[in-house]
Chain A
Amino acid sequence: MLWFRAPEKVYFKKGSMPVALDELGTVLNKKKAFIITDSFLYKNGNIKPVEEKLDTAKIQHIAFFNAQPTLVAVREGAAQIRLFEPDVIIALGGGSVIDAAKAIWVLYEHPEADFEDLAKRFSDISKREEQFPKLGAKAYFVAIPTSSGTGSEVTPYSVITDEEKQVQYTVADYELLPNMAIVDADYSMNQPKELTGKSGIVALAHAILAYAGQQATEYTDGFALNAAKDIFDYLPSAYENGADDPTAREKMANASAMAGIAFANVAYEEVNASDITNIIKANAESDKNAFERYVECAKFLGFIGSDKNDTFDRLIAAIEELQNQCGIVKD
């Protein structure tokens, strides 16, 4: 059996944040919101519109702005959230912030949870022998991405590092899916250039890997292919022009979410912006099926060679060119 799973509500469009957040008051009757973000975004006033909207909706709120995907920071957030006792969590930030927020959510709903243990038992989304602790009894979870991106706003993954032990925990379960994702390009409009480039390539990696993944299905294929296409078409301009090309920003925001939706339904794979082509080549070599899929993907994107190998090479070349355009040094 396979599945297709996405957050209950995925809302999008430039300017949609206040419209979506309105539901917290009018539909969901929430009273207390715990905002999770990082200090950079906080100090730059990025959460101000969220706070203003909550004020209008008469929802009490507080902000935790030291969100990092580390065990220490997550525990700090958990301690604060337990004092405040919110009925809704709003994570506003990049993948790190949203991942940290998901971990805080787990600790809020289940103070006894242990990440090492959870990571051991729940790291492969396709193998479920037991049940992940249920989330949502205490708080509704809203994710607002500010980078395009890891797609964490639509995935069941949370990657937390124990800096002391130098270990990374990957927790994967659909309980971690945010209830609501708000993909509003106003929040990714001012991503710094470097972040734009790196995040864009990460999103591309998610899309392509999801297409070739063993659990890829027609349900996810459409999302993966369209995401990849939009990233090739719009990342260069988003990188060069940033807020001066709001269309490119919006396309990248949606592409990142779509790549995330695809990626959320296949097995998790660690990627970073500089080694994506190595991963793809390695996958293609060890798995014939994956190779065929990469070729299909290349054809859809318009990279057509004289035969399958040539087509595959053109795909790799295209990715490398995109990396160059975005200032990413290949490993």
Chain B
Amino acid sequence: MKKPLILMCVSLVLIAALGLGVVSAQEPVTLVFWSMWNETEGQARVLQTAIANFEAANPNINVEAVWNGRQNQTLVRTALSSGSQVIDLMDQDADQIAGGLMREGFALPLNDYLQQPAFDHEEVLAEVFLPSTLEMFALEGNIYQFPYIYNTVQFWYDKRIFAEVGAAVPQTWDDLLAVCSTLIDAGYAPIAAEGNEPGYAAFYLTEMLARLKGPGWLRQAAADATGEMWRDPAVLRAAQMTRTLWDNGCVPPETIGYVWPQGQTTLAFGTAAMELVGSWLPVELQTQTDPDFQWGGFSFPAIEGGVGSTSDVYALLLAFMINKDTAHPDEAFAFLRYVMSDEIQQLFTDESLVGVTNKYITWNPIIADASATAAAATSTYGDVDNVASLYSEYLNTILYPNYVSLWQGAVTPEAYIDMMATQTAEYWASHS
């Protein structure tokens, strides 16, 4: 009599346990996602689609999105500091996350998760990413960011003007100067630029030093407490090349009075031929260019005697980060895995005209040349050769103002070298 009773009790316990298991699997989960997009932006709309699809496929998961705009990380900081909010995942420029939440230890390492199968491919998820994107901000072998949008910095040019004057895409610095002369002779302003925009001006310094000394050298110079690396002949050469662009008329003199976006609109109006800027430019100028405008893109040219290559790519990524304290890391990553699916990544490039990190996706034709650049990358570096994420205060208070002075012709290349060497040493003496 006892045995059946015991069996019945055991069965009831097992059924209850199994039942709990089912209940546990179906337990409602709310993922709180704070985003860098404004609700009506194209990228936000794609994410809204991704969220809706993901929720439909996972009825127990609700993704609660908060559209904060570009101040997202600062708002996340405030929320996490006050302990008043649960935030499971967020997105922002990868450079900014690296210098902010990631440096402060808020990011969950994703290495194990990235070994899961890709959403719609045979290989593991990590293999789906374009080369060097996942590793760009890895720290001691740990990957903390999940990049999903890919911007390249390169020259964007008007193919019709190049064809009209018979100019070929420049492969070397000397080619670039020759193309400038041809364009000037034909009555065009060769290079569109902003006069007073430190971030855009510093694209030149970054690319020149990447080509001359290789990626990573600029960030070492920024961190050199003696400041002496700035006296390297390559820096003087880069400074002289910067001034050559202005002195030769490649950058027209009135550029000095352009404040963003005045410079780039000269490209849309057909008076200028090219601009060194991110692959967001064709999208930004979309409403101003005529329908026949033909965009082309080429990498910053090689420099004679330099050790860098045109396949070293200046990449500005946008990425997700999962909060290390989230109660739902598996669900949060499941959502990211879906964002990386071909379907959603294709939507990003089709609807918002941006580059994406999934290697199987054909980018929107308007930025096809950026896609080729990204696919061929042998190495990537972030904003100002990662100085933006590693030494952001130095960038803002030393590197930017001094380079803008050189850019605007307020100081000579020689004076620029002295300023950088002296002020870098002073900076690190007071920021040790």
Determine if chain A interacts with chain B: no
* Residues of chain B having any CB pair with chain A under 8 Å: none
A residues engaging B (CB < 8 A)? none
